[in-house]
Structure 1
Amino acid sequence: MHIDLIEASEADLTTLQNLMQLYTHDFSEFWAGTQRGELCGDGRFPDYPIHRYFERADWRAYLFKTADVLVGFALVNDETHSTLHADHSIAEFFVVR
């Protein structure tokens, strides 16, 4: 299967937030009881701060498509969960089932 990796732009914010709803749903069983894993009054999970990926110079958001059909995303930044330096780190990664 061929997958196209497309760098997202600010015009893709709504698409990324929609995909993040699916991503959060998949993780909600682990995040239950936390703000991140509970639905808001409007029936949606809280929005992810994706806008940061268009404000920081070395941060990027990507969409995955196959046969021109959207199938996922990746968010890449320079932050790690350790004290080690990283030029690039996959912050979030999602492919639909």
Structure 2
Amino acid sequence: MDVELAVVGEQDKVVLANLIQLYQHDFSEIRDLPLTRHGTFGYPYLDHYFTEGGREAYFIEARGELAGFALCRGDLDEDGSWNVAEFFVARGHRGRGVAREAARRLFARHPGVWTLSVDHANTAAAAFWSSVVEELATGPVTAVDLADPVPRTRLRFRVA
């Protein structure tokens, strides 16, 4: 599978913002995400990926085409772990192994402990991440159910 992660530079922030709109639109099927008066979804953390250390933004490319994005944060728990904050593959690239390979490449950038949370209402994501983590984790996977701000399961695992 020809999948690559490309670092999102500040000059491409508008492209990432456009992809986040598609991601939020998909997510609005399971969570109440209101539109702004401009007909867009809000995402208050975008600028943080270009102004704060410990945050990384990547475009997911499949066969040379833009296919999605991955956002991650380091030291979320102040223990050196990394967190998958947002992960999105556009519908036309789903079901072809693009997301799995992109996740594999993302984790390979920072071997060690990772966390991610999956909204209980997002059954497709829950199945995907459970499968990916089971395949790639070295050692035990910890799953903790959380309720605030939405019901979700937080996975904690180590990758080589």
TM-score (norm 2): 0.52
Cα distance between partner residues in 2 of 1:86 and 1:27: 29
Moved over 3 A (4+): 83-86
For the residue of structure 2 that corresponds to 1:12, the secondary structure is helix
Map of 1:19 onto structure 2:
19
Residues 1:43 and 2:13 are matched in the alignment:
no
Q: Which runs of 5+ in 2 are unaligned?
A: 92-160
Structure 2 matches for 1:7-86, cutoff 5 A?
7-32=7-32, 37-78=33-74, 80=76, 85-86=79-80
Kindly, what percent of the aligned residue pairs are identical?
36
Cα deviation for residue 75 of structure 1 reads 0.4
Cα distance between partner residues in 2 of 1:86 and 1:92: 19
Figure out how many residues of one structure are paired with residues of the other and give that number: 91
For the residue of structure 2 that corresponds to 1:30, the secondary structure is coil
Q: Which runs of 5+ in 1 are unaligned?
A: none
Map of 2:89 onto structure 1:
95
Q: Is this contact kept in 1: 2:54–2:75, CA < 8 A?
A: no
Cα distance between partner residues in 1 of 2:18 and 2:80: 28
Amino acid at match of 1:14: V
Cα distance between partner residues in 2 of 1:67 and 1:95: 14
TM-score (norm 1): 0.82
Say which structure, 1 or 2, has more relative contact order (CA 8 Å, 6+ apart). 1
Aligned alpha-carbon RMSD (Å): 1.8
Distance 1:26 1:79, change over 3 A: farther
The higher radius of gyration belongs to 2
